[in-house]
């Protein structure tokens, strides 16, 4: 159930740049949606249809563990959680920043009212000052100061997590699923042949998720460059 994460990321979307909103769209449609529908069906029979040509008890299980230390589905779920966490932390800081700005404006408004009550000549100007606050109230979100630095740092951490998971997946499995896996791990009596279900279909999904991760990584780099050169 991705509803909780989705609701929070929708709030993050309101406090992001245009490129950041595109990144969130890629995350929702091409990662969470695909992972929650098609990918889980493809990997649903992963262990049950991993067959080895031996009857040795325990051999098939240890060979599966050697071939797939962690399921691709679980790895992608962890990847989504990790790359989304910096956005959640930024959202928390942005909410705090907006509330502090609201309190500051309320204090300034209270001070203006007190000053207007003391000086009767300023009373006619008070309505104009109140009107001047409305445009500011509609522009609560501005990337500047500490908020801008937090936003840049959260993109940097997203980029690092993205690169880390891509490299980690490469060292764990590579980017292809071979139909045949040879295993000589104990308690197998000798080198046995193990067969993976749907290797071509799984390879296609792996390449698709790799492309999506690369697009997300590219968007992060473009957004960092845009904010730094801005």
The structural domains of the chain, with segments of one domain joined by +, span 3-45+71-176+199-229
Q: Tens-digit pLDDT profile for the chain (230 aa)?
A: 555 555 656 666 566 677 877 887 787 778 888 887 777 777 776 777 888 888 888 888 898 888 888 888 889 889 988 988 888 888 777 777 667 777 777 777 777 777 776 665 554 554 544 444 444 444 445 666 777 788 888 889 999 999 999 999 999 888 888 889 898 888 888 888 899 888 888 898 889 889 999 998 998 898 888 888 76
Q: What is the pLDDT of residue 138?
A: 43
Q: What is the pLDDT of residue 164?
A: 94
Distance (Å, whole) CA 172 – CA 178: 13
The whole-model pTM stands at 0.73
Q: What is the pLDDT of residue 136?
A: 45
Which of 73, 78, 70 is CA-nearest to residue 161?
78
Do 8 and 80 touch, CB atoms closer than 8 A?
no
Q: Phi, psi at residue 181, to the nearest 5°? A: -125, 125
Which of 47, 40, 37, 39 is CA-nearest to residue 197?
47
Distance (Å, whole) CA 75 – CA 66: 16
CATH level 3 topology of 3-45+71-176+199-229: de novo design (two linked rop proteins) (1.20.1440)
Report CA-CA distances (Å) from 109 to 102, 114, 135, 169, 199: 10, 9, 14, 55, 66
Q: What is the pLDDT of residue 207?
A: 92
Which of 170, 172, 160, 166 is CA-nearest to residue 83?
160
Q: Phi, psi at residue 52, to the nearest 5°? A: -115, 150
Q: What is the pLDDT of residue 11?
A: 60
Q: What is the pLDDT of residue 139?
A: 47
Q: What is the pLDDT of residue 168?
A: 92
- The widest CA-to-CA distance across the chain, in whole angstroms, is 98
Q: What is the pLDDT of residue 160?
A: 94
- The tokens of 197 are what? 């279900």
Q: What is the pLDDT of residue 143?
A: 61
Which of 80, 20, 16 is CA-nearest to residue 221?
20
How far is C-alpha 52 from the chain's CA centre? 37
């Amino acid at each position: 159930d991705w509803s909780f994460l989705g609701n929070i990321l929708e709030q993050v979307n309101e406090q992001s740049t245009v490129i950041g909103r595109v990144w969130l769209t890629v995350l929702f449609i091409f990662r969470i949606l695909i992972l929650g529908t098609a990918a889980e069906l493809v990997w649903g029979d992963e262990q049950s249809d991993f067959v080895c040509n031996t009857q040795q008890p325990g051999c098939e299980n240890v060979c599966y563990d050697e071939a797939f230390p962690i399921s691709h589905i679980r790895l992608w779920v962890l990847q989504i959680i990790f790359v989304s966490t910096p956005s959640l932390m930024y959202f928390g800081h942005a909410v705090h920043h907006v509330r502090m700005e609201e309190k500051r404006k309320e204090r300034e408004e209270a001070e203006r009212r007190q000053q207007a009550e003391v000086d009767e000549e300023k009373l006619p100007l008070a309505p104009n000052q109140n009107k001047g606050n409305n445009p500011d109230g509609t522009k609560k979100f501005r990337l500047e100061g500490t908020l801008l630095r937090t936003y840049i740092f959260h993109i940097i951490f997203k980029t690092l997590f993205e690169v880390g998971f891509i490299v980690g997946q490469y060292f764990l499995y590579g980017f292809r699923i071979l139909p045949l896996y040879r295993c000589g791990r104990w308690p197998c009596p000798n080198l046995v042949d193990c067969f993976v279900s749907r290797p071509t279909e799984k390879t296609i999904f792996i390449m698709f998720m790799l492309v999506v991760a690369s697009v997300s990584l590219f968007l992060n780099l473009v957004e960092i460059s845009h904010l730094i050169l801005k």
